[in-house]
Structure 1
């Protein structure tokens, strides 16, 4: 362990405390071995691993950084909407909203558990095969074709420069003299 300029000494008391000070907070024992965090560390205090891995606190904050699936941000009001003239009871609306959200979340989680790993394996294999084919077959074949048909590319450029470009340029100049004026009658 390296000692830096801002290192602190922490006293660790491992003896049994027989006093009543041990159970101040409703039966929870006081941890004598934990040092109080420094002021800089108080902002970066991490909770236990069990708290970090939970359904309410995501491990990865941004799972769609490019916004690919923005069209799937669906709320209850986007699916079910009652007009002002016809309304169900408030309790029905609240319960249907709650059931919609719960069923949407749990159905997604169940389908994810069932499909995410097989689909990701299939997609990985597919992209690996396509990458291999592109790198080792499509790329070299297209380079061979470009090398073999270099004369054809040059001839096509000459045809475009000699025949097509002057023809289209003169047609553009001829039609450029026309003007159209629209008038309401």
Structure 2
């Protein structure tokens, strides 16, 4: 079953599940000058443009170089993970459940054989106890 590439892929909202909200870093979250320690306005503007420009340029260069090979690697990783679960984990768990049910039946039989006579004896001994209240 081949996966089709959606024709209506959203090129604006690229993280609709908000998977990477922890890496949204803005200039104001990294650099800040407290009152009384302000640089020249032009320097602050230049620092802002430098930060934003270098962050965007570096990100674009890294994605241009690494995005396709990494997407391929992650695709292979998740294909392997799916294969492993379909062909190894799920059958193993099913076999384990079948085997553990046999153990459950044996354990229940052993407990019944050993414990039931004791519980019945104690129950018969204690069944003759009568509690009466004396009004004073």
TM-score band, normalised by shorter chain:
0.5 to 0.7
Give the TM-score normalised by structure 1.
0.50
Q: What residue in structure 1 maps to residue 34 of structure 2?
A: 83
1:110 and 2:61 aligned: yes
Aligned to 2:43, which of 75, 92, 116? 92
**Distance in 1 (alpha carbons) for counterparts of 2:104 and 2:49:** 65
Deviation at 1:153, TM superposition (A): 3.8
1:101 and 2:40 aligned: no
Listed one character per residue, the Cα deviations across residues 144-183 of structure 1 (whole Å, up to 9, x for unaligned) are: 1111120334547xx7xx9xxxxxxxxxxxxxxxxxxxxx
Aligned to 2:13, which of 52, 62, 74? 62
**Distance in 2 (alpha carbons) for counterparts of 1:143 and 1:90:** 68
Which structure shows the higher helix fraction? 2
5+ residue gaps, structure 1, are: 1-58, 163-185
Q: What residue in structure 2 maps to residue 152 of structure 1?
A: 103
Q: What residue in structure 1 maps to residue 82 of structure 2?
A: 131
Give the TM-score normalised by structure 2.
0.67
CA RMSD of aligned residues (A): 2.1
Q: What residue in structure 1 maps to residue 119 of structure 2?
A: none
**Distance in 1 (alpha carbons) for counterparts of 2:13 and 2:100:** 48
1:5-20 paired onto structure 2 within 5 Å: none
5+ residue gaps, structure 2, are: 1-9, 116-136
Count of residue correspondences: 101
